[in-house]
Structure 1
Amino acid sequence: MISKRQIKIITSLHQKKYRKSTGLFVAEGKKVIQEFLNSNFELDTLFTTDESLFAFNPKVTLISEAELKKISFLKTPNKTLALFKISEVAAAETEGLIVALDAIRDPGNLGTIIRLCDWFGVKQLVCSETTVDCYNPKVIQATMGSLTRVNVLYTNLSTYLSKTNLPVFGAFMDGENVYKANLPKDGILVMGNEANGVSDEISNLITEKIAIPRFGDMQQTESLNVAMATGILLNEFKRVDF
């Protein structure tokens, strides 16, 4: 059974202010939850319609499918939902390849970028204070557990970039062809807002502008999705490791 109070708390966690006040976030589905269970994140409570999925966990509460539908943020609930405690942010990395996000607003884009960082071995993701919260339920689902391996830091991006000794690369439509650019192993890659790109304030702190060239005959495509562009650029940065 799940109490009315628990239902109220869980459903409130779609809002950042309640995640902040409770120190909790929601993860759904066996794979995602298992990733968090195997990490340093601390489990608060786990609800499931199939007790055999997590039979040896003392914090498991068996609930009905109707109850799961009341607390799930998914259109089709996936048998299990867990509450984890938001962990303290680790100290920021100062070397290697770092990705910085300037006002990314779409949860799906942020979640995908976190997965890309995980795939390409980027341990540090620096987000502007106007970037969507990484503990948003949609972000958590899109990361598929990669949040457990990527340190996400929210800060004043302008201040952060002005203090770094690393070269700062920014993605721009009029930048240097990334396939011809000399890319280092250590540096910061800045990706801009979905609609407006990198802001003027952050643009002034970019040391090298890079771009993904268009190959279509018509060349009328306005831009790439920011997560897709991040994947292409990370692939080029990581080529220097081979």
Structure 2
Amino acid sequence: MEELTNRIRKLVASLDDPRVRDAEGLFAAEGTKCVLDTAGAFDCRWIFATAAWLEAHGHAIDGSADVTAVKRADLERMSHLSTPPQVIAVYERPVYDITPADIAGHLVIALDRVQDPGNLGTVMRVADWFGIDTILCSHDTVDCFNPKVVQATMGAISRVKAVYVDLPEFLAQCGQPVYGTFLDGDDIYGSPLGDSGIIVMGNEGRGISDAVARYVDRRLYIPSFPVSRPTSESLNVGMATAITVAEFRRRQLS
């Protein structure tokens, strides 16, 4: 059991900064559900928890983890949440490599410049629900190990890999169908959809960039209902991803 020093306390508190996460190769998970869902998926550096939490849940933690009982005040100083949790885990940040051959024959989501942590967390949950284990992210998409993203995935980060790539270059080499959602696309419900390929979802306000759009060979559109009725300008990227992936999976079940 490692003593909670002031240096460690400050380090954990600073993991909301992507520069610190990159330099230290660490990220944090907070709260009972998030920690228990991720505890076996990543190499654990530290777990800090109240004595009451350890009494209730300590049996579910891998015995190799360095577990330290701390006061609520310590957790408050380290937490990134508005309501501090009873437990914080600090994990080694994994490094993922991927090639087009690795995803051949699979359905994959690609995110182009998605900036909101909640949206990335939601997309990872959607991928997890529909059996997609890989998400390609452009380098300017929000970091999946941002504490807000980790929290929003509700444990999906332990099963879904977000891999950061030069997205235009990867799509140019993928050799698979590339789908994308556009306001001028073809109605998704009447368009041919395959069992595999890459589904590209774009930035919250600007959509798919021109550099990525040039590699999209099947442009899709999610129509509102009824078509003539005034409605919202667009769908949230998390909602749009869920609808799009659900239609792909529905075709497979049919």
Q: Same fold (TM over 0.5)?
A: yes
Aligned to 1:67: 74
1:102-124: CA deviation from partner (whole Å, max 9, x where unpaired)? 00000000011011101000111
Give the structure-2-normalised TM-score. 0.91
Alignment of 1:118-197 (within 5 A): 118-197=128-207
Please give the alpha-carbon distance, in whole angstroms, between the structure 2 residues aligned to 1:68 and 1:129.
32
Q: Aligned letter for 2:73?
A: A
Alignment of 1:1-242 (within 5 A): 2-39=4-41, 41-49=42-50, 50-52=53-55, 53-55=57-59, 57=63, 59-91=66-98, 92-216=102-226, 218-242=229-253
Is contact 1:16–1:136 with CA below 8 Å preserved after alignment? yes
Please give the alpha-carbon distance, in whole angstroms, between the structure 2 residues aligned to 1:60 and 1:126.
33
State the SS of the aligned residue for 1:179. helix
State the SS of the aligned residue for 1:190. strand
Unaligned runs of 5+ in 1: none
Deviation of 1:219 after TM superposition, in Å, equals 2.5
Give the structure-1-normalised TM-score. 0.95
Is contact 1:124–1:150 with CA below 8 Å preserved after alignment? yes
Unaligned runs of 5+ in 2: none
Deviation of 1:90 after TM superposition, in Å, equals 4.8
State the SS of the aligned residue for 1:13. helix
Deviation of 1:220 after TM superposition, in Å, equals 3.5
Q: Aligned letter for 1:54?
A: G
1:70-103: CA deviation from partner (whole Å, max 9, x where unpaired)? 0011111121001000112154422210100000
Q: How many residues align?
A: 241
State the SS of the aligned residue for 1:103. coil
Q: Aligned letter for 1:124?
A: T
Percent identical: 39
Please give the alpha-carbon distance, in whole angstroms, between the structure 1 residues aligned to 2:110 and 2:199.
6
Please give the alpha-carbon distance, in whole angstroms, between the structure 1 residues aligned to 2:250 and 2:54.
45
State the SS of the aligned residue for 1:162. helix
Q: Aligned letter for 1:51?
A: L
Is contact 1:112–1:227 with CA below 8 Å preserved after alignment? yes
Please give the alpha-carbon distance, in whole angstroms, between the structure 1 residues aligned to 2:47 and 2:240.
36
Deviation of 1:128 after TM superposition, in Å, equals 0.2
